[in-house]
Amino acid sequence: MKNYKKYLPLPAPPDEVYLGLTKAQSIQLWTGAEAEFTEEVGTEFSFWDGDIVGKNIELVPGKKIVQQWYFGDEGEPSIVTIKLHEDKKGTSLEFVQTNIPDEDYDDFTAGIEEYFLGGLADFFEEE
C-alpha cells in the first residue's frame, strides 16, 4: 500500500473551493459527470458515475474534508484528506491519500492528477 500527496494552487478563497468540493451541482460541473454527494458526515458519495465511491468522515467548512474512498475488497481503508490553506493567490489545496494498493498506484494517481485535481484547476481558472 502506498500514500500520495499533492498541492494544488487555486485562484479562489477556501470557502469557495470547499463549496466546489461539497455541493453535488458544483461537483458535476468540474467532473463533467454524474455525482451524488450530501454534505453530511457518515453519508456515502459517488463521483464520475461511480468510478470513485466512498464515505464522508469529517467536514470542516472552508478548511478540511476527510473521506474514505473504497478500493474493491481491500482490507485497509483508503483515507483522503483535503486541507484548504488560505494563501495570497486564493487557496493552496493539500490532497493526501493513504493506502492505495501498489498495483493500482500509478494508474490511480495519474487519474487523480488529470481528472480530480485537473478538473478542479480548470473549474476555478474559468471563474
Which helix H or strand E contains 22, and what residues bound it? helix 14-22
What pLDDT does 73 receive?
67
Strands 44-47, 78-87: pairing is: unpaired
3-state SS class at 109: helix
Contact between 91 and 10 (Cβ < 8 Å) = yes
Contact between 91 and 12 (Cβ < 8 Å) = yes
What pLDDT does 67 receive?
97
Tell the CATH topology of 2-125: Alpha-D-Glucose-1,6-Bisphosphate; Chain A, domain 4 (3.30.530)
Give per-residue pLDDT as tens, 75-111. Answer: 678 999 999 999 999 999 999 999 998 998 999 999 9
C-alpha cell of residue 29 = 460541473
Measured CA to CA, the distance from residue 35 to residue 51 in angstroms comes to: 10
pTM: 0.92
Give every residue of the chain whose pLDDT is below 70, as ranges. Answer: 72-75, 126-127
Q: Report domain extents, the chain.
A: 2-125
